[in-house]
Structure 1
């Protein structure tokens, strides 16, 4: 969780700082209480601010939640894009970097995963949430398809790149869910290892079961 300077709780805190305090408190509330039980009053208490400050910056609970989802979507997008760039022009390194990044503490803490699940649970009936989540998913999925297509051509694999990309995304989302539910023996490190096992089974000419250790020590 990002730390906010204690002085930011004073009267001269910037608009951006206030909003970040409230967004972080909203993530906390979603993780602890779920969507239905999260209120502006509880968010204000969690942020150490008055309810009037919440209303001043976001006007309503719905606008606060939309801002929180947008913040999380932007954070995730910046995170995976940075991981992709870290892989340079090598599709295997790009994919390895993106998969490893998905299990970074800043992204896949139980707190963040619980907040994501709270929003996913509401997305079906809320077009705004669908749009925000859809933008994130589509850009990510298009990139995974691009990588799978390049690896297929390079390795001579016999698979459908689009279907394989969809399966990879579903596998990673499933590991996130199991992390949130506290599956026995699973933590971020073992989840990442499981993901690399899957990569080795799909792309044996590009990944091996020792890749996680060698890539992390590089």
Structure 2
């Protein structure tokens, strides 16, 4: 009975500490504040916790583990891995700038920089959060819902985006809207799992037919909108990788960035479709130069996130050096089509128009 009473008092102190921290923050919380909240002496608090640092760390751990336990129970209610993934994302993301749980987490990260006990507990809890997501991703692979090559790495990327955007959302009201945050998370979760953003929802979803995701070229997007930040970054990285391969004369690397049935139309009207024909064009147009450097000047993307198709109008300055040493430049517009595949965004089509 005495042991129970001691534990009950300890929990009472932890809950009171959390209340004070929510009001004052970790840095502004004193043992005297907690004692006053409970109408007890400071010495009683010290009997259970040897220092303020130990009290704050224990209070955060108590609150956070309770929060994570509730989250885990909610996740288990999802009837598929896809539904569990969506529930997990929904649970992680703050409801608003006054979300108490996130206020505590954000403050704890700052306190962890000064409090070694808090740092250790914060790391453990972050690891537990990543573990939840990794487990869901592995389950999706097992059921055939996901195509996630590295569940651990994907879990870290998703939680990193959640943490970063959630801090902006919770701490800086108006910088990012919750709708925008959720759209970015849907896009990243879809990219990591081989789904489309619209698939990430709380509903039943069985294993995908083998024909659902292919690498065949997409049709041009006619009703697209500006892509999410994640898709925009991925498409810009694709452009950079293509330019890098051209600069280095790396034909295999360049071809790997095209869909299997990729189509290319050059300024002189020469056309190619498929990797074999594209390889010949690369040898003729880029292999004949010492180097070719494409620098994007104006980039406009439109995307249909639900289907995994996008278009781009990319105006570039192209500099090159011929084998005879002559250096030249030109301005061109690349009319691109892109497709999202389980391996990321690939180039599905390009019409190359020289402007001068």
The two structures have a TM-score, normalised by structure 2, of 0.46
After superposition, the CA RMSD in angstroms is: 3.6
2:81/2:145 contact within 8 Å kept: no
Shift of 1:43: 1.7
Decide which of 100, 106, 110 is 1:121's aligned counterpart. 110
Measure how far apart 1:59 and its partner are: 3.8
TM-aligned CA distance change 1:47 to 1:199, over 3 Å: farther
Larger Rg: 2
1:130 and 2:119 are equivalent in the alignment: yes
Figure out how many residues of one structure are paired with residues of the other and give that number: 198
2:143 equivalent to 1:168: no
Deviations 1:47-93 (A, max 9, x none): 343323322332431231122022023213312321332225x2212
For 1:35, the equivalent position in structure 2 comes to 26
Alignment correspondent of 2:41? 50
Counterpart Cα distance in 2 of 1:42 and 1:211: 44
CA distance in 1, matches of 2:64, 2:189: 29
Change (3 A) 1:111 1:44: farther
Contact persistence 2:77–2:84 (CA under 8 A): yes
**Bigger CA drift: 61-70 or 13-22?**
13-22
- Give the number of the structure whose residues are more often helix, by fraction: 1
In 2: Cα distance, 1:109 partner to 1:18 partner? 29
Give the whole-Å Cα distance in 1 for the aligned partners of 2:76 and 2:145: 22
Q: Are 2:76 and 1:91 aligned? A: no
Aligned mate of 2:136, from 132, 139, 147: 147
Shift of 1:42: 1.4
More strand by share: 2
2:289 equivalent in structure 1:
none
Q: Which runs of 5+ in 1 are unaligned?
A: 1-12
- Secondary structure of 1:178's aligned partner: helix
Higher relative contact order, chain-length normalized (CA < 8 Å, sep 6+):
1
Q: Structure 2: which 5+ residue stretches go unaligned?
A: 205-356
For 2:198, what is the secondary structure of its paired residue? coil
Alignment of 1:1-218 (within 5 A): 14-88=5-79, 90-103=80-93, 110-151=99-140, 154=144, 157=147, 160-184=150-174, 190=179, 193-194=182-183, 197-198=186-187, 201-202=190-191, 203=193, 205=195, 207-208=197-198, 211=201
**What TM-score do you get using the length of structure 1 for normalisation?**
0.69
